[in-house]
Amino acid sequence: MKVVTTEKSQVLGVKIAEALDLEIVDTRFSRFPDGELYLRTGDLDGETILVGSVMDSDTLVQLLLLIDACDGSENTLVLPYMGYARQDKKFHEGEPISARAIARALSPGVARVVCVNIHEESVLDHFQVPARNLSLAPAIGEYIAAMPLADPLILAPDAGASAFAAAVAGVGGWNCDELQKTRLSGDEVRITPRAIDAEGREVVIVDDIIATGGTLATAASMLLAQGAAGVHAACVHGVFSGGAYTRLRHAGVKSVVASDTIEGGASRITAAACIAPALTSA
Ligand code: R5P
């Protein structure tokens, strides 16, 4: 068995291969003169672990090409970040269920799928092969435990992230709460923790995805205005679109950390330690 990765998931793929003591396949990526994507893998030996996050159209196409290049019948697809998972239903008439479209496209050619903190667990049902979801909440909790923070308050930015935040907080037995938005007037909102006062506390806001950073930047400014001693942010998938990282730091967030499901400068937590053991039992 060997591990092969797409171009944007190389570092994570190598870490998974090393953790499993498997060979990483030497794969080269380029484009045809007309812009179409091209790849060529080194020797494969049948059963293959494919690692590739879907962040955009190119990463999706590259993953489709890679699946096609792997001709084994027992391939495992590791999808560390599944873009399009947030469009998991028709919010308006005429819209696609994008998560379903991506899951259906990626299913042929693989025997099983392993995801990491997929935005909604129900999306797993759209794959046409068995699919499971892993959580990096313990890894994020361990990262926070190593930060120089005395008794941090773990906050979910909304109710949807509260189970994730509770799992993170469980690692250190820390307080946990979720933020709630109160509308003060037509154009004024106040964001506060639902039950726990943030004054004087080191706060860590945790979420599955930081995309534009809009939610967290607003929350951080308000928490600091309420007297929080410091605000930090930690997420699984650091999309950081449209300057989100600088937006957060400008809003006063002291540190921003993400995992390597999307590889980038803020990827200081590796998903490999969670993914590798799951593959031996997948
Ligand atoms: C939403 O349901 C997700 O869990 C994140 O809270 C959201 O994607 C973050 O988006 P943004 O960074 O653009 O505020």
Calculate what percentage of the chain has a pLDDT beyond 90. Answer: 88
Cα(233)–Cα(144) distance, integer angstroms:
10
- Across 26-35, 69-78, 236-245, 258-267, least confident range: 69-78
Can you tell me the mean pLDDT for 261-276?
98
Can you tell me the mean pLDDT for 142-163?
95
Confidence (pLDDT) at 186: 75
Q: What is the CATH number assigned to the segment(s) 137-260?
A: 3.40.50.2020
For the entire predicted model, the pTM comes to 0.95
The answer to whether the CB of 119 falls within 8 A of the CB of 245 is no
Domain ranges of the chain: 2-135+271-281, 137-260
Say how many C-beta atoms besides its own lie within 10 A of residue 111's C-beta.
Answer: 15
Confidence (pLDDT) at 259: 98
Please enumerate in sequence order all residues whose Cβ is within 8 A of that of 9, keeping only pairs 6 or more positions apart, or say none: 51, 52, 53, 80, 263
Q: How far is the CA of 213 from the centre of ligand 1 (A)?
A: 7
Q: What is the pLDDT of residues 57-88, one digit of tens each?
A: 999 999 999 999 998 889 999 999 999 999 99
Cα(12)–Cα(116) distance, integer angstroms:
13
Confidence (pLDDT) at 46: 82
- Residues tagged active-site: 181
Q: Is the CB of 220 under 6 A from ligand 1?
A: no
Confidence (pLDDT) at 183: 75
Q: How far is the CA of 236 from the centre of ligand 1 (A)?
A: 11
Structure tokens at 124: 């797993």
Confidence check: pLDDT of 232 > 80: yes
Q: Is the CB of 192 under 6 A from ligand 1?
A: no
Please name the CATH architecture into which domain 2-135+271-281 falls. 3-Layer(aba) Sandwich (3.40)
Is 2-135+271-281's fold the same as 137-260's? Answer: yes
Q: How far is the CA of 134 from the centre of ligand 1 (A)?
A: 19
Paired strand residues for 134: 116
Confidence (pLDDT) at 71: 84
Q: Is the CB of 160 under 6 A from ligand 1?
A: yes
Q: Is the CB of 214 under 6 A from ligand 1?
A: yes
Q: What is the pLDDT of residues 26-65, one digit of tens each?
A: 999 999 999 999 999 999 988 999 999 999 999 999 999 9
